[in-house]
Amino acid sequence: MEAAKPVSFSKLNKYEAPKRRKTKANRLTEALEADADKDEEAEPRGVVYLGSLPNGFFEPQMKTYFSQFGEVTRFRLSRSPKTGGSKGFGFIEFRQESVAKIVAQTMNKYLLGDRSLVCKFKPKDECHPKMFKGWRRKPFDPRPRRREKQMLSVNDRPTVEVDGQAVPQLTELQVKHHERRRKKLKGKLRQLEIDYDVDEILNGGGTADNEAEAEEPEAQEQKQPKKKKRRRAAVG
């Protein structure tokens, strides 16, 4: 009886873990895996808080100025959502944590422009996960867009024909303002003990008076002034 031939382990390993095909997708996967291994072995990133920033020191200036210490990966300047202006503080992230610590030590209380700069190193557990969310987004001033929207809401309103003229309808805000003023006027008249019907006047009760006032100038125009007689010079 013949003995069984031994199987080489190299063949078993060859069939269990076949090599990847040399495609673009596999190359990209291998490159990403290699970068992930490098990042795990390399030093972690570090974040520095920047406070008391002078006016005019924005995102481009942050990147340009702090790049002299090391590689800057991300940065974010806190801005007002109403005006888009700087709030005077921000955060900057360096590739290496040691560089971030050196920057926080050396640049703290550094006189930048007309202000004393505040720099503090932020540990990883104190950093919010969404601290640098939208850091690539370009800053903009939302006030012109908000002003245009307000103008459209006031001007582009449905119209009502009154005496042959197209009059825009009142908005809900305008109605509330009118009601508030009417209540305020009623309260003042009540305090002064004056019996006056405000609703009748405001709702068109004074139309008869307006018509009478409109007729008076017409009657005055019909009356012509008397001509003065000229005196003749006496002939001697």
* Cβ proximity of 104 and 120 under 8 Å: yes
Q: What value does the mean pLDDT of the chain take? A: 79
Q: Taking residues 83-111, what's their average pLDDT? A: 94
Closest CA to 49 of 114, 112, 123: 123
Does any domain span residue 228? no
Considering the domain architecture, whether residues 179 and 111 belong to the same structural domain is answered as no
Q: What is the pLDDT of residue 9?
A: 41
Residue 199: its pLDDT value, please? 80
Alpha carbon distance 119, 116 (integer Å): 10
How many helices and strands (H and E) does the chain possess? 8, 8
Instruction: Determine the pLDDT at residue 224.
Output: 56
- Is 80 part of any domain? yes
Read off the pLDDT of each residue in 108-134 and give the average, rounded to a whole number. 93
Q: Please indicate, yes or no, whether residues 51 and 112 belong to a single structural domain of this protein.
A: yes
The pLDDT tens digits for 197-225 are 878 777 765 544 555 454 555 544 555 55
End-to-end, the C-alpha distance of the chain in Å comes to 181
* Domain assignment present for 40: no
pLDDT at 22: 66
How much is the pLDDT for 7?
A: 45
Cα distance between residue 234 and residue 236, in whole Å = 6
With 50 as the cut, is the pLDDT of residue 12 above it? Answer: no
Q: What is the CATH number of the domain that holds 67?
A: 3.30.70.330
Question: How confident is residue 89, by pLDDT bands cut at 50, 70 and 90?
Answer: very high
CA torsion angle 65 69 73 77 (round to 10)? -40
pLDDT computed for residue 170 by the predictor: 79
Full domain range(s) for residue 92:
46-126
Place 126 in a pLDDT band, splitting at 50, 70 and 90: very high
Residues 169-188 have pLDDT tens digits of 877 888 888 889 888 988 88
From the list 95, 56, 55, the residue with the least C-alpha distance to 75 is 95
Q: Is 147 inside any structural domain? A: no
In a domain, 131, yes or no: no
Indicate whether 93 belongs to any domain: yes
pTM strictly above 0.95: no
Does some domain include residue 50?
yes
The Cα angle at residue 230 between residues 229 and 232, in degrees rounded to 5: 130
pLDDT for 163 equals 85
Three-state DSSP at 60 gives helix
Q: pLDDT at position 153, please? A: 77
Maximum mean pLDDT: which of 17-21, 142-146, 152-156, 215-219? 142-146
Residues 6 or more apart whose Cβ sits within 8 Å of residue 94: 45, 46, 47, 48, 66, 69, 70, 71, 72, 73, 100, 103
Residue 155 included in any domain: no
Give the pair of three-digit tokens for residue 175.
Answer: 């109605």
Strands (E), 189-232: none
What pLDDT is stored for residue 132 in this prediction?
94
Question: 220 vs 31, 34, 48, 162, CA distance in Å?
Answer: 98, 100, 83, 29
Burial class (CB in 10 A: 0-12, 13-18, 19+), 36: exposed
Closest to 73 (Cα-Cα) out of 96, 89, 54: 96
The length of the chain is 236
What's the total number of domains in the chain?
A: 2
Question: Does the pLDDT of residue 78 top 60, yes or no?
Answer: yes
